[in-house]
Amino acid sequence: MKKILVLHTGGTISMHEDADGDVETGAENPLVQAKVTFPNIELEVENIFNLPSEHIGPSHMLQLQKRISEAKNDFDGVVITHGTDTLEETAFFLDSTLKVSFPIVITGAMRSSNELGSDGLYNYQSALRVAADDTSKNRGVIVVMNDEIHAARFVTKTHTTNVATFASPLSGTMGLLTKRQIIYFYDLPQREVLSDVDINKNIPVLKAYAGMDGQLLKLLADANIDGIIIEALGAGNLSREAARGVEYLLAKNTPVVIVSRSFNGVAAPVYDYLGGGVQLEKSGAIFASSINGPKARLKLLIGLSNNLSKEHLETYLHGI
Ligand SMILES: NC(=O)C[C@H](N)C(=O)O
């Protein structure tokens, strides 16, 4: 018998459609009444929040982290249900801050509980199966949706409405569920887990574009932010004006982290001219190779919260 802790947080998976076809949160989470019985799984269910995932932030993620840490000796796994809009951020936060061997599985839905073709209950059942499976241990946080298993580190929401929205463009799908089997295709590289988080740090994410000037970067530097993530062009390049803005930030000792605004691939210094990645790195910007802007924001938040030295912060952010 496997004992699984279920933490419902809200999102479309626990919402319903009203008479006008609009999706809303109800007083009751329909998943709590749902019949999900597996002969070998015992559930303990907690409605930790009932929020759309746009209302979830690092303080809620920290609450989840604490609840899961407390649970590690009493349960064989955890399933979290969550809205899909920020699901990858909660998954990444927990993956980066929790060192536990039992499976932590996050799932959600793209269609609410009473819509035709609703995927919530199916994904919930799949998540429970994955969490109760021994092959899911020691894999960090896992996202299960639409018969696929993804690693929190690589997964991202790729479509606004399609049920096949979650994908791992860089690494590929980590595993699959069939009717009878759970199959993993690869193991993940080691990651550094750091548990302290100061949720009050101010770290904006900015997307680069053709013709970007440095004005906003300078304003942010003067506003004494704790760090900034720039979703740069291509492999990690900026306009000349934006590069000067980066220099201004760095002169004020504000950490600048470069990721790519491209949907796929690794950000790395390649071009040696003003605004090119090589010069950005030489001037002190840090490349976070394999993650998107919102995940890099959480990683910088965690790195700064643990008071990492400059060198350590660099290797931490570089790491896959
Ligand atoms: N499909 C969803 O769950 C989207 C919803 N807006 C949420 O993130 O809460």
Can you tell me the ipTM of this complex? 0.98
pLDDT at 166: 98
Ranges in the chain, pLDDT < 70: none
pLDDT at 125: 97
Q: What are phi and psi of 94, to 5 degrees?
A: -65, -40
**Of ligand 1's atoms, which has the minimum distance to the CA of residue 52?**
9
- The pLDDT tens digits for 261-288 are 999 999 999 999 999 999 999 999 999 9
pLDDT at 38: 92
Minimum CA distance residue for ligand 1 atom 1: 110
- For 4, other C-beta atoms within 10 Å of its C-beta total 23
Percent of the chain residues past pLDDT 90, beyond the cut: 96
Domains of the chain, start order:
2-184 (3.40.50.1170), 205-318 (3.40.50.40)
Which of 12, 111, 113 for mutating ligand 1's site (highest number of atoms within 8 Å of CB)?
Answer: 12
**Of ligand 1's atoms, which has the minimum distance to the CA of residue 111?**
1
Tokens 């003067």 belong to residue: 222
pTM exceeding the 0.90 threshold for the entire prediction: yes
Residues with CB under 6 A from ligand 1: 11-12, 52-53, 83-85, 108, 110
Assess contact for 308 and 302: CB atoms under 8 A: no
Burial 147-184 (b: 16+ CB within 10 A, else e): ebbbbbbbbbbeeeeebebbbbebbebbbebeeeebeb
What is d(CA 178, CA 182) in angstroms, rounded to the nearest whole number? 6
